[in-house]
Structure 1
Amino acid sequence: AAHRCFDCYQSPIVRTECLLQEHKYNPFHRIETWSFKWRIWKRGELGTVVGFTLNLGHGGNRCQANRLPPRPTTISVTVCYLRHTSIWTLTVSQDRHRELNNTMRESMFLRGTRRAGVEPTKNLEPRSLAVLCPACPHPGINMESGWEALP
């Protein structure tokens, strides 16, 4: 089958073996496989390609001590196990909207001080964070000298 990587820059069209070798260290890239039946590129994950194995540890290579052939393994995670081990609680999380608003306000203030070139820890003069409108006339900035004498 012909494949190309959706996430790689200028990815060429390659065979399955080449795709698996090239993406040994990028297992979460999205791929497109050519469908001869429909004559279109079908999107999918690298894990759906036949022959793909994700080797954990050993730098992405297969463990040399393992003598068994690779076989697919499915790991099933159930909510009951997570609740039993207290990894996941079923309690409703608190509403953090007020904290989010405070954080956004502080972030906007710091962004404004950085844009205006002022230090946020010192006393700020009124209107020191205001952005001048580029379309409005400002003497000495976007108006020619002697504009008062013009008709």
Structure 2
Amino acid sequence: SFRCQDCIQIPIICQGCMVTAHQFNPLHRIQQRTEHNNKKNYWVSTELSSLGLVIRLNHTMESCPHKPLTGPPTRKFTAVHTNGLHHTVVALCHCPDQPSIMAQLLRAGFFPATTERPQTIFSLAVIQDFRMQTHEAGTTAHAYHSALQRQTDPTFKDRVDDRYREFLRVIQVWGHIEDQIRTGLPFGINQHLPEFHRDCLAVICPACPQPGINMSRETSKEHIKGKPHLFTCFLAADGNFRLVAKEKNQDEEARSLASGRAYMVADDPYWTYLESVHDDIECETCTNHKAGQLGRQLNSKHLRSRGKAVINCTRHTIVRPKAMVDFPKGERYSNIDYALASTIN
């Protein structure tokens, strides 16, 4: 006898009926009634895949009429869903014109952890749920992943597969994809934008003068001269020494997917520029300037950045594109100069 923990008002049914009822819900949590001393007196968790359920792609849960040229017809995946981690069996499509493995998984509602021979997949529901949780409740990726492990096995969480590294990678890639969709880049919006704002993921200030966007490039100098306050962009710089960044010890090769395309400046040119800047002479400590002292007193041994500087418009307090830089050695004019030059370039 079997029962489902996620279905509503589903009766206790047999193995075959349980598999049939979950053809389109393959990530539900199932329990099996076991016997002890010839008495059916308690329930244990089991997997739908162990009951014979196979997730069939690209054929609406029907078997693909073609066999694979090499390898078995099915693959085993660790699927991560909002109710925990599951061991699943997936049958891919092997038709002559079949889409790629990644396309098949995405169409079925799964995001693979890697593009080549993936073994871990994440449901789109768990990715969207985490993004909502982290935006509204400030939930960290580590806490969310730990909760998924706890849902899988409330008693022995450490026995559950660790997919934290893959989870971090997937949410980073998914967030980058969402950013591009929201800016319209996949839909050809670049052809309607001026050259200086193409391939930009940042939201520009809608009220500040933007030639070619909210004001004509043919605006005469005489017209601007008559009302200069309407065609002037007022900028301000500010630093925050609480926005520190620690050195990553998990993946030294980690790189930003949107370097120089959103609010932060491009990494490589910025750090190359800082190598050519001479260190400032330490000022007298008796000045006791709070911002400066905070930037100098922070222990930089394990910090990649001791703060950040940003350029924004003073009228509407909206951050400018490509206008945020790191403070690797405290507040210096060289950092602000680079941020200002980057955003007005």
Structure exhibiting the larger radius of gyration computed from Cα positions: 1
**Fold shared, TM-score > 0.5 on shorter chain:** no
Larger fraction in strand: 2
Name the TM-score class by shorter chain: 0.3 to 0.5
